Structure 1
């Protein structure tokens, strides 16, 4: 019966999500109350027109899906047929995105400095603005900040890293490596990375202990081509932008790392959002992250990658439900971050291995950092949902990044204590 339902849904065009407009798109929350209903949702996820923003493993958490106008009636018919509980979250996502775009643009034109030199947390910045802020910090704090071009994206954009020290000249310290923005539409993740940078550099006195025995290396936007594309074309674009076929572009960077690549939770279909790539490390952007991670082997103690959304602190493995032998160390650090956030703001984060808490997905950067680059602590932080999920309002940016920093700082303190 499930197969019949999914076959029916697959007759619709798979091109809808490639369009630039989301006019008339609806967003639903669907509550799976048993294993059968969860399996139905997993099968529906295979339809290219249904963009599942969130499909958690737990039965007590609803799945969230974006649906094009051509499928509203049919999807609701199927959900009612199988008695699945659902709720309409947004009845015209396109109209919402247009309002948000205008608001973000107006906030960027105001350019509030937020008591910092060149970064604002009242608007989402473009990639060039992010790089300009890094360069400004390097000029202003030359003894403590170094900015380097780690490589170029497929479309030729500079992927810049910022290395933050306490200026004591010791080049052999342990390292915390943080990246963000591997998925293009997750705008709050680069914003979170920028806030970490601001706190470590411009609020150095308060955070000096985090830099006494550790350096921080931060890559705030892993996927600048996709990130820019979400600003100029298709807001919910997820992948990189290197062509795969004449009609399909991009690879899911977080399925492209060469550790159990392509084994589970990654699509072989080039148009799919979770497309694994033509080969492991087929994308210049993931090659850059790989090289950075490997260059830090031995010194690298904590790898943290920022994503959204879902209030999760996840650790290896993503390719299997089994746990690594040192999982208690990973769990201890992640729980320190969750506890700090919970204590300060009341926001609850779910902690656990990626496969057991969320879903199986091989080829992720966190598994690679842990298994191949030998970072003893490797964690994916999924920031809270804003707006309908991936689209926080400008008013939500600052409280989200401030809260995120509390968790990151607590995890860093735990790592520094342990290693």
Structure 2
């Protein structure tokens, strides 16, 4: 037994300690902007300086703090800029950056290691694939739909939870940003809840088919966990090479901005930290997911994208100040969700509202795209944050999965009370029947008129 423990420590600790050492080279700030001038300055830093990492972009809401990680090389200049422009900030103590080392990553690159326990750790891409494959073999209601391969040839798949009968579709997405370890952990743990009949969520499969993408950006996620904790983009390499600062070549695209609905704030420079791609859906990950969403769009009542580093739920749109067509209904649903979470969970408070109210100069995200293209009734982006630390702790996976389960159950209950008639099998069949009748009559009319 001792021998296996020594081997485990030999394999795991160097990687975890290396990550810990890299993080300790940075300083993290909580910065608060109170007017448009301050937000504009911060946004300029956001798009121009890859040594200044905004964990969730620039807030468009006055007085909402932003967590910003700054490389040791630039902390003095960064602080001077903030002071010169009278922007309020505090330095977050280093011990609040990350939790205990053992809670960060549990590496699995040995056949002697047990199957990952997704409720108590963060794992590499290969480890998560092992978990998914084993669960699929053991549970007939869980299947895998392969939709693409990434730039580095990793398989991009959708996990489907279904009893076999066709139900209204609910789509859950995570892992767009390589820095986000939390959303994949929450989604996989949610799948575990359904399979193991926990938290009363297993009954949801009687009424809904769940389509779940735990990690949309496996290349970026794996690179982040193994080599660079600050990496968020995918790993596309440009040809010919584009050289950037510090004689480094440009790599990757921000997938969460590759769905852009407006070009007004698009950055066309590959070296920019927030490079969105030359065109919308330019990447294998986004374009193939878009094609799949198109296939299930008529049956999709709810679309939710989960991200980390914030306590917030946003609704479309971000690229315009115009609210979506069912804005009052979505806000009523979120109000009820907020009350339910506050009632059932500690530290459950969160902000909610339209994306444009919370994020500055936003090009539009996948939630905007889904709402604009398919008019899916309920579309949210849920940002979840760990308690006590900027970066996630394994101890937060279960509490946050419980919170997410409460959010989802309340959302589905309220959404179905409003929108379920639109997804009734009888109504859909009636509409299809009418279409079958109308098209021949229309063709006959045009033939007579000519």
TM-score past 0.5 threshold: yes
What corresponds to 1:262 in structure 2?
A: 263
Q: Among residues 251, 254, 271, which one is paired with 1:252 in the alignment?
A: 254
Alignment map for 1:263-412 (pairs within 5 Å): 263-264=264-265, 266-345=266-345, 346-385=347-386, 388-389=389-390, 391-412=391-412
Give the C-alpha shift of residue 374 in structure 1. Answer: 3.3
SS at match of 1:298: helix
Does the 8 Å contact 1:174/1:299 carry over to 2? yes
For 1:393 and 1:205, how far apart are their aligned partners in 2? 21
Counterpart Cα distance in 1 of 2:364 and 2:35? 29
Q: How much has 1:92 moved relative to structure 2?
A: 8.8
Tell me the residue number matched to 2:14: none
Cα shift at 1:313: 0.9
> Shift of residue 146 of structure 1?
1.6
Asked if 2 retains the 8 angstrom alpha-carbon contact of 1:107 and 1:122, the reply is: no
Q: Is the Cα–Cα contact under 8 Å of residues 107 and 124 in structure 2 kept in the other structure? A: no
CA distance in 1, matches of 2:285, 2:109: 30
Q: Which residue number in structure 1 is paired with residue 55 of structure 2?
A: 53
**Residue 314 of structure 2 aligns to a residue in which SS?**
strand
Deviation at 1:183, TM superposition (A): 0.6
Please tell me whether the aligned partners of residues 200 and 207 of structure 1 are also in contact (alpha carbons under 8 angstroms): yes
The offset of 1:204, in angstroms, is: 6.8
Q: Name the structure 2 match of 1:413.
A: 413
Distance 1:366 1:125, change over 3 A: same
Match of 2:13 in 1: none
Conserved 8 A contact 2:195-2:202: no
The Cα shift of 1:159 comes to 1.5
Residue 135 (structure 1) shift? 2.1
State the SS of the aligned residue for 2:104: helix
CA RMSD between the two structures: 2.8
Larger deviation, residues 218-227 vs 348-357:
348-357
- The CA deviation string for residues 290-336 of structure 1, in whole angstroms up to 9 with x for no partner, is 12211111101111111112111111111101102211232233333
Deviation for aligned residue 1:405: 2.1
Q: Is the 8 A contact 1:255 1:261 kept in 2?
A: no
Provide the C-alpha distance between the structure 2 equivalents of 1:150 and 1:337, rounded to a whole number of angstroms.
32
List alignment gaps of at least 5 residues for structure 2: 1-20, 243-248, 421-450
Residue 208 of structure 1 deviates from its aligned partner by 4.3
Paired with 1:118 and 1:218, the residues of 2 have a C-alpha distance of: 19
SS in 1 for 2:297: coil
In 2, are the aligned partners of 1:318 and 1:355 still within 8 Å (CA)? yes
Q: Is the 8 A contact 1:337 1:407 kept in 2?
A: yes
The alpha carbon displacement at 1:280 in A equals 1.6
Relative to the length of structure 2, the TM-score reads 0.78
User: Does the C-alpha gap of structure 1 residues 207 and 402 become closer, same or farther in structure 2, counting only changes over 3 Å?
Assistant: closer
Q: Deviations over 1:379-414 (max 9, x none)?
A: 11111145653x212222222222222212221222
Q: Tell me, which stretches of 5 or more residues in structure 1 are unaligned?
A: 1-19
Higher helix share: 2
Report if aligned partners of 2:193, 2:202 keep a CA contact under 8 Å in 1: no
2:4 aligned residue: none
1:100, distance to aligned residue in structure 2 (A)? 5.6
- How many residues in Structure 1 have an aligned counterpart in Structure 2? 387
Structure 1 equivalent of residue 236 of structure 2: 242
> Computing the radius of gyration over CA atoms, which structure comes out larger, 1 or 2?
2
Q: 1:241 to 1:90 in 2, by over 3 A?
A: farther
**Distance (whole Å) between structure 1 residues aligned to residue 199 and residue 394 of structure 2:** 28
- In structure 2, the residue matched to 1:227 is 221
Residue deviations 1:81-107, cap 9 Å, x none? 3333321114599xx66x865543468
SS of the aligned residue for 2:145 comes to strand
Q: 1:213 aligns with which of 207, 211, 217?
A: 207
Cα contact 2:385–2:392 (8 A) shared by 1: no
CA shift digits 1:208-267 (9 cap, x unpaired): 44222211111111000000001111111111111134411111111112x525333x42
- Preserved contact between residue 31 and residue 84 of structure 1 (Cα < 8 Å): yes
Partner SS state of residue 379, structure 2:
strand
